[in-house]
Amino acid sequence: MVNKTILWSAIAASFASISNVLASDSDVLALTDKTFNKEVLDKSLMLVEFYAPWCGHCKALAPEYELAATDLKDKIPLAKVDCTENEATCREHGVQGYPTLKVFRNGESTEYRGTRKHEGIVSYMKKQALPNVSDLTEATALNDFKESDRVVVIAYVKPDDKETKETYDTLAAKLRDDFTFGLVTDEELAKTEQIKEFPSLVLYKQFDEKRVDLSGAALKDEDLTNFIKSNSIPLLDQIDAENFATYMESGLLLGYAFTDNEDDRAKYDALLRPVAEKFKGKVNLVHIDASKYGGHTSNVGLKDGEFPAFAIQNLNTASKYPYTGSDVSTTAFEEFVENVFSGKIEPTLNSEEVPETNDGPVKVVVGSQFNDIVLDKSKDVFLEVYAPWCGHCKNLAPTWEKLGEQVQGLKNSNLVIAKLDGTANDIPPEGDFKVEGFPTLKFFKAETNEMIDYNGDRSHADLIRFIKEHSTGKIELEVPVEEEQEEQKEAKDEAETVNHDEL
């Protein structure tokens, strides 16, 4: 472990030899196929952006990246590579999309996991420059360290407590990308921070209550992780694309206050802050700018354009709980959050109307009938979740219809071929899956409701083979001879093409 001031001096010196190939108005190093290895591979720490000039996300990142480079100048270099002109370097480093940011240490790279905002880039790279745990031995170093980032974690441990030190080191190594960790073993120095018990952990913040303490019995890794993550999220922050992942990783219910003007935001802040304090560590509450993210209302059961509004979402199951009460007060919101958290309120499901007739070869499923049809334990159900605009779904449609007609013509069959419009209907929690893309094909077995993913080719023949392999009853479905022959011919042609290409 090293003193922070000494560390930063060493880092600045180590980068003094970097070639001055920057434009006069930029602190970002522009690299090429010819200069990349020379400028990057022998440096102890560097951030590199791989980009394309036409990329909209790259254009949005550019000014933030420039500001970060200026802030980190003479400490940590930031560089960029234009992949449209330097394809060899980008290919060598596995760049598959733009922008891609990688942290390089002596030639070895890891993915950059921070935000794409100026302050976030600076904070993330400063953490990368520090050891896992910084040893703090003087009051000045301690005070500077406490103010060095938005969230700082410091453990106060007795010099001979090796077990807690090892646990803390392991924790810091795991969370170093997200938090800054310090250690104080001088008991007199600890007293200046009003530490009365050892070991103790203090989380210093530049928001809310500024400081949160955890002390007493031996500190375990899981306890420390939960403590840090639950207390590092502001009570009522503004949510956007940059910090959404933080809330996802917390695993807690997320309550959104949708507002589209400052007056409504201030009003809802006053109403919800006591609620956020009461449910801290159980439910996260956030403000969301309805003028920018109004489209998110459909994901939480609200109507776009009707603001202000409040709703809760379970990010693990995608369940939604819109607040529909007329009482807009702290008491009403508190009761609503409590009932959602305790399970007294059922989630709202998007669902189309139940079809008047549903006796076609492919059974139509809507959200409100999902459990009745798909989870009917007397049936095997092969379900397609589709989107009306999806090209792959349109290609599959005639094959899926043909499959349904074959099954419908069977005697004493317990198999159902079904489809659900995933853009208009939610999967209930009992369905126990998320739709990651279209079409999604799932097979639910009778008696157990065991769910099996279909990841094979979407040909008629392969679908039939899959059904025969997994169905609980005897299914008299056969692949038409002409289809079998056509598939064999296509496979042969493909093999010959591959062999020809390899020659």
Digit-coded pLDDT (tens) for 182-240: 999 999 999 999 999 999 999 999 999 999 999 866 567 677 888 898 889 999 999 98
239-350-269 Cα angle (round to 5): 30
Predicted confidence at residue 216, as pLDDT, reads: 66
Give me the half-sphere count of Cα atoms (radius 13 Å) on the Cβ side of residue 59: 4
For residues 69-98, give the mean pLDDT: 94
For the domain made up of 363-483, the CATH class stated in words is: alpha beta
Residue 310 CB partners (closer than 8 Å, separation 6+): 255, 256, 257, 258, 268, 272, 322, 323, 333, 336
Predicted confidence at residue 438, as pLDDT, reads: 92
Predicted confidence at residue 218, as pLDDT, reads: 57
Q: Is the pLDDT of residue 406 over 80?
A: yes
From the list 228, 156, 141, 138, the residue with the least C-alpha distance to 198 is 156
Predicted confidence at residue 246, as pLDDT, reads: 83
Q: Is the pLDDT of residue 329 over 70?
A: yes
Predicted confidence at residue 181, as pLDDT, reads: 95
In CATH terms, the fold of domain 4-127 is Glutaredoxin (3.40.30)
Q: Could you write out the DSSP letters of every residue in 226-246?
A: HHHHHHSS-TEEEP-TTTHHH
Digit-coded pLDDT (tens) for 420-458: 999 889 898 889 888 888 999 999 999 999 999 998 889
Q: Is the pLDDT of residue 6 over 50?
A: no
Predicted confidence at residue 483, as pLDDT, reads: 61
142 confidence band (pLDDT: 50, 70, 90): very high
Q: Considering the chain, what is the average pLDDT of its residues?
A: 87
Q: Is the pLDDT of residue 285 over 90?
A: yes
User: CA-CA distance, 257 to 254, in Å (whole number)?
Assistant: 10
User: CA-CA distance, 274 to 337, in Å (whole number)?
Assistant: 12
Predicted confidence at residue 490, as pLDDT, reads: 55
18 confidence band (pLDDT: 50, 70, 90): very low
Pick the CATH number of 236-342 from 3.40.30.10, 3.90.320.10, 2.40.110.10, 2.40.50.100: 3.40.30.10
Portion of the chain with pLDDT greater than 90, in percent: 64
Q: Could you write out the DSSP letters of every residue in 394-443?
A: HHHHHHHHHHHHHHHTSSS--EEEEEEETTT-PPPGGG-----SSSEEEE
Catalytic residues: 55, 58, 390, 393
Tokens representing 43? 């440096």
Digit-coded pLDDT (tens) for 366-396: 999 999 999 999 999 999 999 999 999 999 9
- The hierarchical CATH code for the domain 131-231 is 3.40.30.10
Predicted confidence at residue 429, as pLDDT, reads: 82
User: CA-CA distance, 476 to 473, in Å (whole number)?
Assistant: 10
Q: Could you write out the DSSP letters of every residue in 90-108?
A: HHHTT--SSSEEEEEETTE
User: CA-CA distance, 322 to 313, in Å (whole number)?
Assistant: 8
Q: Is the pLDDT of residue 5 over 60?
A: no
Tokens representing 372? 């009745």
Q: Is the pLDDT of residue 498 over 50?
A: no
Secondary structure (3-state) at 1: coil
Predicted confidence at residue 1, as pLDDT, reads: 40
Can you give the residue ranges of every domain in the chain? Answer: 4-127, 131-231, 236-342, 363-483
For residues 266-284, give the mean pLDDT: 95
Secondary structure (3-state) at 311: strand
Domains 4-127 and 131-231 in one fold: yes
For residues 466-482, give the mean pLDDT: 82
Portion of the chain with pLDDT greater than 70, in percent: 89
Q: Are 192 and 184 in contact (CB under 8 A)?
A: no
Amino acid at 325: G
